[in-house]
Amino acid sequence: MAAPLATCSEEEQRSVIRFLQIEGTKSNEIHRRMEVQYGDACVSLQLVYEWSRMSLNGISSVTDSPRPGQAHRVVTPEAIAAAEATVKENRRVTVHEIAAHLDMSHGPAHHIVHDVLQFHKVSARWVPHHLAAGLKERSVDACHKLLKPFEA
């Protein structure tokens, strides 16, 4: 018996499905035989059924057909810059307002603000996650000035 195939592409597996389907092998038998050879890399039984049906309907290509266009990307450098400008202009702005301003859904706006720009809400204001050295010193000085009346 041959050793299981370590690497394979979907196109290879589609070719095997098409070949065995043309021979008259049933889909569940095709999947069982492919599991022996491909192991964990084997496509699901549902895909075997789907690709067998496509082969029966005359679709002979084993490669993915071209799609009408590239997926719409919202998280672009321009969107990131616009979100950062919006936050810097108004530190009390919400993610929902940023999403509405940039004409995008809540998820990408949240991703830009939290993951890309690394802003977090502190006392209802967006602040950079990493403070610069000068800002840290100003913060410490302000705390010391507040504590001096209580020390006396």
pLDDT per position as a tens digit, 90-137:
888 999 999 999 888 888 899 999 888 888 876 666 666 677 788 778
Average pLDDT of every residue of the chain: 81
Domains of the chain by residue range = 10-56, 73-129
pLDDT at 30 over 60: yes
* Residue 84 banded pLDDT, cuts 50, 70, 90: very high
Most confident of 31-35, 71-75, 82-86: 82-86
- Token look-up 């939290």 returns 114
Is 28 within 8 Å of 42 (Cβ atoms)? no
Are 87 and 119 in contact by the 8 Å Cβ rule? The answer is: yes
CA angle, corner 99, sides to 98 and 101, nearest 5?
Answer: 60
What end-to-end distance do the CA atoms of the chain give, in Å? Answer: 87
